Structure 1
C-alpha cells in the first residue's frame, strides 16, 4: 500500500513575490471544489497548449511501474484502464466508472472472480486494436522485477500472484487471468475483493501489446490507449511532451475531454518557481497548471483586497484527498503497552496548535477519526477521547496517575523534512501539549528516508511517532486493512500495521466487508469498524490535509474531485 500522496509544499512569500490570503476557502466558484468555468467567451473549446509545472519528475513513465489510479494526472492522458474514476467535482468524483470496459466488472457470488468486457472500436495510437490479451500482458509485465514500483494489490489478490515473476521469466503467464476472446477478461482471486473495480483503475490495467514491449525502455515511447501519445520524454520524465492520439475516439471515452492539442510537462522545478510562474502568468504560463505543488501558509495568509489579489485568489483550486495524519503507538514498546498511557496522550493533544503547525486551518482540518470525513470512505463520527480544541490535560493526568506514570518521559520520533505533516513544527506542537499533562516529550528527528525506514519496520519501529496514510481509492478497505489487519504485518519489509494488531475478530470483519460488492452497504461497515478500532487507542488522529494550488489565468474547466484532491488535467481547456 502506498503511504504517500501529494505532499503540501512550503513556499516563502519572498520567493513567490505575490500575496494571497486564507480567505480563499470561502470563495465561490472553481476555487471552492472546482466548479466548471466556462469563461467569458463561452464553453471550453479544443485547441492550444497546456503547460504543466511540477516539482516531481514523471519518472518511470511505464504503466507497470507507475503508482497511480490514473485519477487526474498526466498518466491518465496516455494510459486508459478497465475502469476509471468519474471525472466530476467533489463527492461525485469518488465513484468508479467504466473506461476500456463496458461496465465496472461482474463478480461471481462471493467476489472471488471478476469478468470484464471491452468496448468495441478501441485502438492504440498506431491504429491497431486493443484486445483483452493486451490487458492481461500489461498486468503480467508489472510482476517483473525490472519493472517494479507499481501498486502491489494484484500480487496479493490474484491466485498464483505471490510467486509469479512476470512474462520475461515465466512466458506462460498467470493462469488466474483468462481471456476467452479478444473482448473478455476474467480475474480469479484467492479471496473476496468487493473493491476490485477500484483496483482496475490502476495503470497496471492499461493494455500493452506484447510485440511493442521494449522492457525497461518502454517508458520512452509507450503505446498510447488514451487521447494523447508521448512524443518527447527527456531527463527521466523531467520533460514530457504529449500530442493527440489520432486513433482515440471520444465515442469510447466518456471521461476524458482532451481539449488541448498539446501538453508540455516540465518537472524538477522548485516550488517557489512554480508558484511564481503561475501567479505572474506570462507567456505560456498563462495556460499552465500544477498537479503537485501547494501554496504555503505564508501566501494564503496574505491575500489582500486589491483587484489583482482578488483575481489571484480566484485561481486557487481547493482539494481534499483521502488522507490522515496521526500519532502512532507501538504497543510492543513500554509504556505504550498500557492503554491508559495511550488514552492519556489522546486526551492531552491540542489539535488547534497541531493545525497551526501544519499550516493553519486553510491547509489542515482537525481529525478525531482515522477515516476521512467522506461518505465514500464510510466515515462515522466519533471522538472516544474528547480533547476539545486545546486538549484535556486534567483527564490525561487522571489516567496517568491510574497507570502509575505521573512523571512520564517519552520520545516522539519525527521527520526533519519540512513537509508540514511529520515535521519538527508538528512534533513541537505535540510536545508542548503533552507537557501540560505532565508528560515530558523528547524529540527524535530523523532524515526523511531514515524516518520512513524506521516507522515502517516491524522489528525496529519506535514506540511513539508521527505518521500519515493516504488511500489508493475512496473506500475504507485501503485505509483500514493495511494499518489494522494482522495478516498484513510484514516482518521483513515495509510494515504499515504500526501497532502490529492481530485481532481475529477484526480480521474476520475485514473479510466480511470485502465480500460486499455493493459499496453503499460496505461503506457504513467500514465506518463502524473504524469506530471499534478507535476505542483501542492505537493511534491519535490529528488532521486531514487540504490542498490549495494555483492555476493559470487562461485555464478553464477546473475539476477537482474527492478521489485525488488535485486538478484533473483530462478536463482542462485553455483559451
Structure 2
C-alpha cells in the first residue's frame, strides 16, 4: 500500500512544481497612480512611462540605470563637431505591433508632431529646437538642430521621445501600438493594466516574462497588505516608507533604496496674488523645515535640495543654505510685503504619501508664520485638469521625476507660471552649450536664478524605494527615469 501512496505524493509534488513554474512566467507590479492614458508623448504623467516606456513603446536611445545612454531603435549614431547635426542609423527589420514596418519616416513624423505648435508633449521645446529632419533612406535619419544640442541623446531616451506610427498615433492613449516587446492585454479602469508578451518582437526569445500586471494601489496600508499577501510581486517607488522595517526583516522580500531624478517641490502659482510677490514666496521658503518634512513624510529617507536639480545631476549646486528654516524671517518678509495675516491659501495635494503626509507637515509650518494653508486632497486626474492645465491653485506638492527638466522654467505657460526673461536667457546657454564644462556652468547659473526668485519651495530628492519578492531579478535600484523594464525582469 505504500508504493501507490508514494506515487500519488510524487505526482502531486510534480504537479505543484509544474504549476509553480508556470506561474513564474508572469509578474504583478504595484503602482500608486493609475495613468490617465497610455501615450507618454501627449500627457505628462510619469505613471504612463512606468507602464509603457520600453515595454510597449521604444525610442532611438535607451537610458539605463547607471545614466548611460545606449542604442534602442537606433543601431548607431554620429554627432557633427559643432553638435548641431546628429545622424542615426536605424535597426533593420523592426516592425510595429500592428505589422507596419518601422523606418526613418516614422522618426520624422513623430518628432515633427512632438514639436508642432499644437503639441502637448512635455518636451515640446526640445523637439522645436530641431530645425529640419532628413530621411535619405529608410534606415537613416539626420537631425539638424538650430543650436548645439549637448543633451540630445539623453532627451531621445525619454518617454516623450518614443517613436509612433502615423496610422495609429491618434489612438495611442487607449490603444497603444509600439515596437516594444509587450502589447496591451487589458485595462480594467481603477484596478489594473495587463501587458502580454508580443511574439512578433525582434528579440522575443530573449524576453523571460510572458505577462505583467500593473495593479493600482494608492492607499499605503493596502500596498503593505498586498505585498505581504503575495498579491503583488514588486512595488517600485513604494510609498509607505514607514513600513520598510518589517520588509527588511522578512527573508521573503528585498528592499532597495536608491536615488531618482524626482525633485519634490512645494509649487507656487507665480502669477496669482499674493504669490506674484517675491517676498511672499521667500517667506514661504523660509517657513519650510526640509528635515522635518523628510523625517515625518519619508521616514528620514531623502536628500534636501535647494533648486530644481538633484545631487545625481551634472552641474548640481547645493543651495539649501539660501533659505534655511527661519520662521521669524518669514514673518518679517510677509510684513514687508504688506500681507495681511492670517494669509489664506489653498494647498492642493495629489495622492502620493509624500504629498499627503508632507502637506500636513507643511501646513503646520506655514501656520506658524501666519499662513493658513487650506488642504484639498485630489485624485491625479483632478490635479492634471485643475493645477496643470487650468492653473487653478495657490500651492501644491509634486515630484518632478523627469531628468534634466529644468527647461520647464523657461516656459511661462507652465503650471507655476514663472515668466522670467533672465532665466530664459540663461536656459539658452544650457541648450547651446558646446561642451560639458559650459553646460555645467550654465546649469549652475540656472539653479541660482530659480533659487533667488524663490519660484517654488524646493524640498528634497525623491528616493527610489522598492519592495519586491527576493526571487525577482531585474528591478532598478536607482531610477534616472521612471520605468519598469520588463525585458530585464526574471525569476530566480
TM-score over 0.5 for the pair = yes
Check 1:558–1:568 CA distance in 2 against 1; reply closer, same or farther (3 A cut): same
The aligned counterpart of 1:33 is none
Task: State how far apart, in whole Å, the 2-side matches of 1:186 and 1:320 are.
Answer: 34
Check 1:107–1:264 CA distance in 2 against 1; reply closer, same or farther (3 A cut): same
Q: Which of 74, 79, 82 matches 2:60? A: 82
Task: State how far apart, in whole Å, the 2-side matches of 1:191 and 1:152 are.
Answer: 16
Task: State how far apart, in whole Å, the 1-side matches of 2:98 and 2:267 are.
Answer: 50
Give the TM-score, by structure 2 length.
0.77
The aligned counterpart of 2:432 is 515
SS in 1 for 2:196: strand
Counterpart check, 1:115 vs 2:87 = yes
Task: State how far apart, in whole Å, the 2-side matches of 1:134 and 1:383 are.
Answer: 44
SS in 1 for 2:291: helix
Task: State how far apart, in whole Å, the 2-side matches of 1:365 and 1:407 are.
Answer: 34
The answer on whether the counterparts of 2:150 and 2:431 sit within 8 Å (CA) in structure 1 is yes
The aligned counterpart of 1:466 is 396
The aligned counterpart of 1:299 is 243
Structure 1 or 2: more helix by fraction: 2
Offset at 1:410? 1.5
Give the TM-score, by structure 1 length.
0.67
The aligned counterpart of 1:153 is 124
The answer on whether the counterparts of 2:97 and 2:183 sit within 8 Å (CA) in structure 1 is no
Unaligned ranges ≥5, structure 2? 1-22
1:392-541 superposed matches below 5 A:
392-399=326-333, 403=336, 408-423=341-356, 425-437=357-369, 439-445=370-376, 447-448=378-379, 453=385, 455-456=387-388, 461-462=393-394, 465-472=395-402, 474-475=403-404, 478-479=405-406, 481-483=407-409, 485=410, 488-490=411-413, 495-498=414-417, 500-503=418-421, 505-516=422-433, 518-519=435-436, 521-541=438-458
Check 1:405–1:550 CA distance in 2 against 1; reply closer, same or farther (3 A cut): same
Deviation string, structure 1 residues 5-24 (Cα, Å, up to 9, x no partner): xxxxxxxxxxxxxxxxxxxx
Offset at 1:184? 0.9
Task: State how far apart, in whole Å, the 2-side matches of 1:394 and 1:460 are.
Answer: 30
Counterpart check, 1:385 vs 2:322 = yes
Unaligned ranges ≥5, structure 1? 1-46, 161-175, 251-256
Task: State how far apart, in whole Å, the 2-side matches of 1:533 and 1:232 are.
Answer: 44
Offset at 1:296? 0.9
Counterpart check, 1:216 vs 2:216 = no
Q: Which of 33, 56, 73 matches 1:100? A: 73
Q: Which of 299, 304, 313 matches 1:375? A: 313
SS in 2 for 1:542: strand
Offset at 1:523? 3.1
Task: State how far apart, in whole Å, the 1-side matches of 2:34 and 2:351 are.
Answer: 20
The answer on whether the counterparts of 2:39 and 2:176 sit within 8 Å (CA) in structure 1 is no
Task: State how far apart, in whole Å, the 1-side matches of 2:50 and 2:133 are.
Answer: 28
Q: Which of 183, 197, 206 matches 1:230? A: 183
SS in 2 for 1:311: coil
Counterpart check, 1:260 vs 2:218 = no
The answer on whether the counterparts of 2:129 and 2:145 sit within 8 Å (CA) in structure 1 is yes
Offset at 1:518? 3.8
Offset at 1:220? 4.5
Deviation string, structure 1 residues 385-434 (Cα, Å, up to 9, x no partner): 352xxx32344445456x275973212321254433443x4344234334
Deviation string, structure 1 residues 351-401 (Cα, Å, up to 9, x no partner): 233224423213x4333333222234x2111235352xxx32344445456
Task: State how far apart, in whole Å, the 2-side matches of 1:324 and 1:203 are.
Answer: 18
The aligned counterpart of 1:132 is 104
The aligned counterpart of 1:32 is none
The answer on whether the counterparts of 1:70 and 1:201 sit within 8 Å (CA) in structure 2 is no
Offset at 1:202? 4.1
Offset at 1:187? 2.9
Check 1:372–1:279 CA distance in 2 against 1; reply closer, same or farther (3 A cut): same
The aligned counterpart of 1:8 is none
Check 1:184–1:221 CA distance in 2 against 1; reply closer, same or farther (3 A cut): same
Structure 1 or 2: more strand by fraction: 2
Deviation string, structure 1 residues 51-77 (Cα, Å, up to 9, x no partner): 133445577556765767997754413
